[in-house]
């Protein structure tokens, strides 16, 4: 089950946040429960003593004394945790009482109502750009088993493909999506090392839709591309299957889950995403934690789509042997 959610909970931050005021007792309990969660569930056990010592030092020095609003208090602790542990997944998540009740309903919960990025399970646009260039917008990696076949059927006759991951904060494992642009084989793309087991993650040998092969694929990334969206980009870059255009990604590679930290009097809840595993790519022998995925072509986020579109058309100009079609592509390049 852990591998199924890879970093899903890391992108389910509620849309609405309130300036909730914490009592000193609230803060003390939250602080103690954070330390307890790290001791019991944090994957990198060797880091825990130093993390706890640093937190205790901050507490005793009054570092958190004036931070009485929930957002201020938890944001500061989260920032401290990331800095000390060098782990960008250590974030707090707050759910109102209504949201907490809905989340308990399980897999039938329409996550898109809480986080709009998960509308249509994260795949929210497929279209054809000028020059017969496919465009696929993936805002989050939800459960796409039934959506991807239709999307790739729609894009199957295009001559190049742009997959937009800008602002994609993560989700479920991305190996199914990767399978659509890789050969029909079972390819090891990474291994996840939990405390109690090891999971090898492969692409799917059989998929329900057409594969997109023998044509260029461009991935758009920015600073908001995080977690399993980075996994998608990192693995495909290592396999030399894509050209990444945009900005270096956020740098969060460690899978895990949300540990309950505190339930308030109004039944709202606070949780901490705790890393419970680490990932190793079979080609690089490492991952993207703290570094992010570096683009092959670095441009600002707002310019990434235009740049990728331009690159795709340049590729078609070079490949085209028909003089009339080649001229048309050249005219398109001038317009973009």
pLDDT tens, the chain, 336 aa long:
333 344 433 443 433 445 689 999 999 999 999 999 999 999 999 999 999 999 999 999 999 999 999 999 999 999 999 999 999 999 999 988 888 887 776 655 566 666 788 888 999 999 999 999 999 999 999 999 999 999 999 999 999 999 999 999 999 999 999 999 999 999 999 999 999 999 999 999 999 999 999 999 999 999 999 999 999 999 999 999 999 999 999 999 999 999 999 999 999 999 999 999 999 999 999 999 999 999 999 999 999 999 999 999 999 999 999 999 999 999 999 988
Q: Taking the model in full, what pTM does it have?
A: 0.90
In the chain the domains, ranked by start, together with CATH numbers, are 2-108+254-276 (no CATH), 116-252+280-335 (3.90.226.10)
- Who contacts 244 (Cβ-Cβ below 8 Å, separation ≥6)? 218, 219, 220, 221, 233, 237, 293, 294, 295, 296, 297
DSSP conformation class of 202? E
Exposed, middle or buried by CB within 10 Å (0-12, 13-18, 19+), for 188?
Answer: middle
Q: What is the pLDDT of residue 113?
A: 61
């Amino acid at each position: 089950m852990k591998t199924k959610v890879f970093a899903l909970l890391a992108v389910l931050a509620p849309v609405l946040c309130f300036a909730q005021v914490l009592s000193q007792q609230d803060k003390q309990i939250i602080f103690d429960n954070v330390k307890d969660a790290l001791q019991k569930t944090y994957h990198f056990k060797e880091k825990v003593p130093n993390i706890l010592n640093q937190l205790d030092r901050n507490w005793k020095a009054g570092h958190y004394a004036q931070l009485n609003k929930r957002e201020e208090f938890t944001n500061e602790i989260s920032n401290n945790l990331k800095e000390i542990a060098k782990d960008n997944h250590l974030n707090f998540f707050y759910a109102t009482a209504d949201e907490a009740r809905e989340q308990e309903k399980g897999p039938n919960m329409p996550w898109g109502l809480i986080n709009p990025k998960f509308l249509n399970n994260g795949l929210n646009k497929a279209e054809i750009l000028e020059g017969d260039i496919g465009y696929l917008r993936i805002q989050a990696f939800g459960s796409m088993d039934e959506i991807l076949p239709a999307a790739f059927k729609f894009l199957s006759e295009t001559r190049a493909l742009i997959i937009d991951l800008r602002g994609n904060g993560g989700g479920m494992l991305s190996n199914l999506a990767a399978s659509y642009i890789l050969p029909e084989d079972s390819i090891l793309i990474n291994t996840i090392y939990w405390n109690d087991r090891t999971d090898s993650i492969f692409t799917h040998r059989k998929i329900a839709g057409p594969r997109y092969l023998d044509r260029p694929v461009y991935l758009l990334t920015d600073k908001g591309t995080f977690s399993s969206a980075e996994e998608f980009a990192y693995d495909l870059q290592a396999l030399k299957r894509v050209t990444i255009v945009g900005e270096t990604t956020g740098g969060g590679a460690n899978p895990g889950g949300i540990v309950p930290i505190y339930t308030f009097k109004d039944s709202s809840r606070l949780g901490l995403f705790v890393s419970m595993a680490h990932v190793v790519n079979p080609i690089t022998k490492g991952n993207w934690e703290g570094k992010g995925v570096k683009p092959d072509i670095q441009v600002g986020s707002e310019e990434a789509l235009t740049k990728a579109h331009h690159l795709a058309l340049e590729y078609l100009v070079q490949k085209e042997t028909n003089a009339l079609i080649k001229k048309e592509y050249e005219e398109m390049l001038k317009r973009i």
